[in-house]
């Protein structure tokens, strides 16, 4: 069982490369980038995994201050499990101290849901993580809504956010980053009651 001194591994899920940077599927990377900025770190290549990482501390001074590793797997989304498992093993992170931040089709745009464990709901990044290490990790699900009309899901998630969505995106990414900090400092129940909508 994990304890307060164990590090946390915060994983933003996405696809590497500038052509994917603004896509709905990459909202996990956007939140990870903001968290890195908040702790004053820059992503660099991990030695032991196909990922970029930032190490630092999150939270106020004192007992709520947490050692964190922020990570962006540099495999493609459907292979995220390999890099995340390698980082978990290298940094000795208990599985319940891993947080995956990802896009979620079945929730309205901008809605957040935090949970521990559960299924992958067809999300290839989660599917790969669960296959590699089981499902007992935290998820921060960032709603992107369903595709309009007959658009295929794969096309929808690999499109950039619409101009209307982009007006709110900065605020929503900020709120998702806040929810990660709340989860680490105050626990899942407090974070759920503050951020689940």
- pTM to 2 decimals? 0.96
Of 194, 31, 20, 13, give the one whose Cα is nearest residue 120.
Answer: 13
Q: What is the mean pLDDT of the chain?
A: 95
Q: What per-residue confidence (pLDDT) applies to 64?
A: 77
Looking at residue 114, its pLDDT comes to: 98
CA-based nearest residue to 24, from 123, 162, 179: 162
Report the Cα–Cα distance between both ends of the chain, in Å, rounded: 30
Identify the pLDDT of residue 172. Answer: 98
pLDDT-derived band at 197 (thresholds 50, 70, 90) equals confident
25 an active-site residue?
A: yes
Q: What pLDDT sits at residue 1? A: 58
> What is the pLDDT averaged over residues 18-29?
97
List pLDDT tens digits, range 83-94: 999 999 999 999
pLDDT tens digits along 45-88: 998 899 999 999 998 888 778 999 999 999 999 999 999 999 99
**150: which residues sit within 8 A by CB, 6+ positions away?**
none
Cα distance between residue 105 and residue 86, in whole Å: 28
Mean pLDDT on 94-98: 96
163-179: pLDDT as tens digits: 999 999 999 999 999 99
Q: Is the dihedral of CA 132, 112, 185, 167 positive or negative?
A: positive
**Average pLDDT of the segment spanning 105-109:** 95
Among the options 25, 102, 123, 138, which is catalytic? 25
- The tokens describing 160, both together, are 């950039």
């Amino acid at each position: 069982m994990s304890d307060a001194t164990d590090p946390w591994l915060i994983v933003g899920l996405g696809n590497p490369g500038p052509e994917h940077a603004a896509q709905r599927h990459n909202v996990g990377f956007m939140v990870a980038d903001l968290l890195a900025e908040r702790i004053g770190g820059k992503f660099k290549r991990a030695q032991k995994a196909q990922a970029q990482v930032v190490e630092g501390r999150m939270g106020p001074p004192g007992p709520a201050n947490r050692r964190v590793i922020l990570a962006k797997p540099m495999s493609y989304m459907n292979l995220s499990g390999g890099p995340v498992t390698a980082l978990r093993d290298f940094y000795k992170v208990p599985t319940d101290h891993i947080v995956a931040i990802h896009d979620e089709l079945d929730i309205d745009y901008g809605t957040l849901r935090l949970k521990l464990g559960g299924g992958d709901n067809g999300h290839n990044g989660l599917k790969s993580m669960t296959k590699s290490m089981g499902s007992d990790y935290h998820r921060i699900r960032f709603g992107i809504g369903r595709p309009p009309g007959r658009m295929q899901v794969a096309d929808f998630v690999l499109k950039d956010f619409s101009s209307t969505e982009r007006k709110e995106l900065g605020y929503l990414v900020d709120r998702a980053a806040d929810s990660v900090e709340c989860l680490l400092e105050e626990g899942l129940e407090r974070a759920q009651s503050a951020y689940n909508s």
